[in-house]
Amino acid sequence: MIKIRGLTKTYHMGKVTVPALREVDMDIPKGQFVAIMGPSGSGKSTLMNLLGCLDRPTSGEYYLDGEDVSKKSDNELAEIRNKCIGFIFQSYNLLSRADATSNVEMPLIYRGVPPRERRAMATKALESVGLGKRIQHRPNEMSGGEQQRVAIARAIVGGPKVILADEPTGNLDSRSGEEIMVIFQELHEQGITIILVTHDPDIARHSERVISLKDGKIISDEMVQDRLDARECLAAMPEPDVSA
Ligand SMILES: Nc1ncnc2c1ncn2[C@@H]1O[C@H](COP(=O)(O)OP(=O)(O)OP(=O)(O)O)[C@@H](O)[C@H]1O
Ligand SMILES: [Mg+2]
């Protein structure tokens, strides 16, 4: 699904050059659930932005589903992003004035899906993340976990091949984070390729494979031996204290 060779990204800040990624090679088969770890500044977000076609490498090759993405025009990249990739950020990145349905519909508008069909697809995506009762809520009328679930619905509404999530549980309490991991586990069971950045080793243990970066290079790449089941983890957590 994903093949990168010699992927390099260097940022230029006036006279200073910052090597954020250095000749990274990586192969991720279709359907794999991968966690990316590494200290702050190790290049995780830089890698995700390149994988998500939000940015271009300084050098190197990137093949997504067999296509050489490094040679595409900006318009072609925008189309690949819209059709193949679902991106989820730590800070949700929702439109604050728009309700949940409108936020989820956004990628379908760019794709020219007619309004009624769009609305039906958005409702279905919101139901699939457990937000059937929140479709008219705006972001400030929802908890962080609910907002992140809206962001996931927006990422999956167009049927992406790859989900890229940069610290999706970073702003959430452990229970809301685990609820997000249940959704990722379901998406993985549906065969979607998932790449997730996390600082949390317990979150990484929900994936099949952990790739660690340091100073823009891969320093380890291991299959997870003792995977955690998100549904079991969630069930073992204490119920939220509603009286508080
Ligand atoms: N737009 C940019 N311009 C200049 N330098 C950048 C830019 N984005 C990132 N960098 C630099 O590139 C390096 C890698 O940054 P990156 O954001 O990929 O790290 P990260 O692993 O995601 O860190 P964190 O865990 O803090 O999110 C850092 O040294 C950072 O300062
Ligand atoms: Mg980052």
Least confident of 32-46, 71-85, 95-109, 158-172: 71-85
Choose one of 18, 54, 218 to mutate for the ligand 1 pocket test, by most ligand atoms within 8 angstroms of C-beta: 18
Angle ∠(94,98,104) on CA atoms, nearest 5: 60
Using DSSP, state whether 42 is helix, strand or coil: coil
Q: Is the predicted pLDDT of residue 243 greater than 70, yes or no?
A: no
Q: How much helix, strand and coil, in percent to the nearest 5, is found in the chain?
A: 35, 25, 35
Q: What residues have CB less than 8 Å from 23, skipping those under 6 apart?
A: 6, 7, 8, 60, 217
Separation CA 235–CA 244 (nearest Å): 21
- pLDDT recorded at residue 179: 96
CB atoms within 10 A of CB 77: 18
Contact between 20 and 9 under an 8 Å Cβ cutoff? The reply is yes
- Identify the residues whose C-beta falls under 6 Å from ligand 1: 11, 13, 18, 20, 38, 40-46
Residue nearest to atom 27 of ligand 1 (CA): 40
Give the global pTM. 0.95
All domains in the chain, ordered by first residue: 30-56+74-235 (3.40.50.300)
- pLDDT recorded at residue 238: 84
Residue nearest to atom 19 of ligand 1 (CA): 41
Strands of 67-68's sheet in order across: 16-28, 2-13, 59-64, 67-68
Q: Is the predicted pLDDT of residue 93 greater than 70, yes or no?
A: yes
* Nearest listed ligand to the Cα of residue 58: 1
Choose one of 10, 37, 44, 54 to mutate for the ligand 1 pocket test, by most ligand atoms within 8 angstroms of C-beta: 44
Q: Is the predicted pLDDT of residue 16 greater than 70, yes or no?
A: yes
Contact between 163 and 193 under an 8 Å Cβ cutoff? The reply is yes
- Please compute the mean of the pLDDT values over residues 27-32 and round it to a whole number: 98
Q: Is 48 left (phi over 0), alpha (psi -120 to 50) or beta?
A: alpha
User: Which amino acid belongs to residue 42?
Assistant: S
Contact between 9 and 183 under an 8 Å Cβ cutoff? The reply is no
Q: Which atom of ligand 1 is nearest to the CA of 47?
A: 18
- pLDDT recorded at residue 242: 66
Least confident of 61-65, 164-168, 180-184, 238-242: 238-242
Q: Which atom of ligand 1 is nearest to the CA of 48?
A: 18
**% of the chain beyond a pLDDT of 70:** 98
Q: In terms of Cα–Cα distance, which of 36, 5, 48 is closest to 221? A: 36
Q: Which atom of ligand 1 is nearest to the CA of 199?
A: 25
3-state secondary structure string across 200-228: CHHHHCCCCEEEEEECCEEEEEEECCCCC
Q: Which atom of ligand 1 is nearest to the CA of 42?
A: 21
pLDDT tens, residue by residue, 174-216:
999 999 999 999 999 999 999 999 999 999 999 999 999 999 9
Residue nearest to atom 12 of ligand 1 (CA): 20
Ligand 2 geometric centre to CA of 140 (Å):
24
As a whole number, the mean pLDDT across the chain is 95
pLDDT tens, residue by residue, 121-150:
999 999 999 999 999 999 999 999 999 999
Angle ∠(161,163,167) on CA atoms, nearest 5: 170
Q: Supply φ then ψ for residue 44, to 5 degrees.
A: -60, -50
Q: How confident is the model at residue 77 (pLDDT cuts 50, 70, 90)?
A: very high
Query: Following DSSP, what letter does each residue of 137-161 receive, concatenated?
Result: --GGGS-HHHHHHHHHHHHHTT--S
Q: In terms of Cα–Cα distance, which of 152, 182, 187 is closest to 166? A: 152
Q: Which residues pair with 166 in a beta bridge?
A: 197
- pLDDT recorded at residue 244: 56
Residue nearest to atom 4 of ligand 1 (CA): 11
- pLDDT recorded at residue 144: 96
- Please compute the mean of the pLDDT values over residues 14-31 and round it to a whole number: 96
Contact between 185 and 178 under an 8 Å Cβ cutoff? The reply is no
Q: How confident is the model at residue 70 (pLDDT cuts 50, 70, 90)?
A: confident
Choose one of 7, 46, 198 to mutate for the ligand 1 pocket test, by most ligand atoms within 8 angstroms of C-beta: 46
